[in-house]
Structure 1
Amino acid sequence: MSNYRLRLSITKDGALAGLIYINIAIFLFVGIYNAIFYLVTDHTPLFFDRVLALSSEPNVLAKHPWTFITYMFYHLDFLHALFNLLVLYWFGIIFVDFFGNTKLTSVYLAGGIFGGLFYVIAYNTLPVFYTDGPATLLGASAAIMAIAFGATAFSPNFKIWLMFIGDVKLKYLAFAYLTIDLIQIPFGNAGGHIAHIGGAFIGALWGYTYRKNGLNILAWVELALEKIKHIRFKRERIKVAYKNPNPTVRKVSTGRDLDLILDKISQKGFDSLTNEEKEKLFKYKNDLDS
């Protein structure tokens, strides 16, 4: 079943692929625009920093509240974007396998929002930032930390294979990830590293409470996403009549059943299937292999 899970995680209908595609699309669009603007005017535009990046200034935030969302999809440096998307892919596949697509999106957004809050609060309260001028935050790192620590807090002993190292438990990998952030604080981008800690905090809290008592502290985010998802135009389906439906109806029925099962896995994870649904899925797989 791992092949089915992997396909559900990275296909165009999966939340993981959607998050990756949005990040790539914004990176390419902004990069191309900046390059053309620089060639024509001989200086770098500040437009996208103002409308997409998260400012440390409360007065600016009051005028641009949407930047609590947009900053987590906004990258300027290629290596920064590449590293973030690779980590998102690696941890995202594990996360979707545990919880499904809806929770992946909600934890990503919550991690970014809480990381942004940690960043703004730190910049306006900690003495180390008193002499610094206004700053901006961008990148998906805080959101990705929430996904990584959400999966880790839920299943800390889950093992993944790393090249040249072998099997490593998630808790050790997440600990190393967080430690690197902490020790880098004095050497630059302190605000960014604090934002990462904020994302890790909300992810770990969500994963721990979900594992201990099934409490979903981010249910409000999922509810908002569900409402947004249903704001769409209805498309009419084309009805096709068959003169000899006997052999065809069974194939159509099987296809519909499979679509429903795959949709259920995509939203709630493989473990949400009933025994009957699992048997149908395995039978369909065996039919394909035969």
Structure 2
Amino acid sequence: MKLVQCTYQARSRLGLLTDGDKAVKLLSEETLPTSTVQLLELGTPAHVRELLRAAESSAPTVPLAEVQLRAPVTRPDKVLCICMNYVDLCAEQNQPVPTEPVVFNKFPSCIVGPADDIVLPSATSQLDCEVELAVVIGQRCRAVSREQAADYIFGYTVAHDVSARDWQLHRNGGQWLLGKAMDTFCPLGPSLVTADALEPHALALACRVNGATRQNSTTRQLVFDCHQVVAHISQCLTLLPGDVILTGTPPGVGVFMKPPQFLQRGDVVEGEIEGIGTIRNRVV
């Protein structure tokens, strides 16, 4: 199933993509919440999937063009990120492969929808793009093993880890936070694909700027897979329903091009992951 948050006739709704992602089944407001986080708080991922299947059978279908897709998750408790988590990225940068996941964070306020604008802040001149597979947690998760982690994942979505490289690498005392957490720096979407419908570790992913491919890889290149990442973080933090984890980006980002190429106003960035879909965001 492909869960979406959307606006239909000026009201927030949950829905399921259908008909080859060309239509949305609008889920009942009377029996289910209208936000993903509230939905996930109703029980385990398996239980929530049962609720969705039951609601799907009687849900009215409307054309996708009649709804405005929002980020499939909004206002989670946490947005966490993993860096240097692709073998081919480490090779591109001539860096050693990490021996444990390296974790940083964004803020929930960074999240925007799959077609929303990315605002280029006046504070940076080095805006860059990173396509990433994002994990969405389905139930409270603390100190789980890699083998247990899959039971706590509700699904997966496409993420764009927008980055201000000057702030990330050369300012703020070497701390990454400001370079990663400015407003609109985390587009998500277009849908949240349930974990039972997707094998996350064999997916093609790509990033295009104005139609030109910059990143092109596969999640087979992950150093630490999604289950390892969830297990690792859960040893230190309690993960809550709706928490989003960006699992890292492959090679091809602008800062390491020769010469570096940064995003400009008017650029259109597309992040695509096999089995999930494409997000398209214009820099303004």
Larger strand fraction of residues: 2
TM-score range, shorter chain: under 0.3
TM-score normalised by length of structure 2? 0.27
Higher relative contact order (Cα pairs below 8 Å, separated by 6+ residues): 2
Q: Which has the larger radius of gyration?
A: 1
Which is richer in helix? 1
| TM-score, scaled relative to structure 1 | 0.27
